[in-house]
A = this chain, B = another copy of it.
Amino acid sequence: MAGVEPILRLVNQLSKLPGIGQKSAQRLAYHIISMPEEQVRELATSIFNGKKQVHFCPNCGNYTDTDPCALCSDDTRDKTILCVVKDPRDVAALERMRDYNGQYHVLHGVISPMDGIGPDDIRIRELMSRLASEPIEEVVLATNPDIEGEATAAYISRLIKPIGVRVTRIAHGVPVGGDLEYTDEVTLLKAFEGRREL
């Protein structure tokens, strides 16, 4: 659209999003322009507020718009079991399973020497201090079943065992090399049920 600057700018912005190419961005832009103004305002506001209001829970590291997050402050959840995951998307995936009712701890990454990410670069220190202050009896390591995820689980397991907390690993029901985020609920449930002591 030769001269229409706002459309070009919108297409440009949309095409920066993952999985949206030039054609999709154009299609989306025309759709947005044809939407009622109120709906466009809602979309723009939800994008801006999504970024502005959401931050990491200081306790578990999950996304939240309250401090602490809704999961950490929910008294109906089991305080004795804690599930360790790589990132907030994994919390969302596990919550969709609707079976787990314990605590979470988001590492924000996994140990990956190739990428220069060591144990101090992810939230392992925070995990250890939670184990010292919270009544946690079991830690379920739910990092992805890939090389970095396994290495991270093994590393954390070696740290925790000496302090006498039970450490388990979700079963390999999750396809090896797969990603928690894209695993269906039933597989996640099986993986959870089949967790074994490390």
Contacts and interface: CB of A to CB of B under 8 A. Distances in A.
Interface of A: 1-7, 9-10, 12-14, 16-19, 24, 26-33, 35, 37, 39-54, 63-66, 69-71, 88-89, 91-92, 95
19 contacts: A1-B92, A3-B69, A4-B69, A5-B65, A6-B53, A6-B54, A12-B46, A13-B42, A17-B32, A18-B27, A18-B28, A18-B31, A19-B28, A30-B89, A33-B54, A40-B47, A40-B52, A44-B45, A47-B47
A50 B7 contact: yes
Given A46-B13, A69-B3, A70-B3, A52 B28 contact: no
A104 to B, nearest CB: 11
A54 B91 CA distance: 40
Contact of A35 (B7, B44, B51, B92): B51
Contacts of A17: 28, 31-32, 43
Contact of A4 (B13, B27, B28, B54): B54
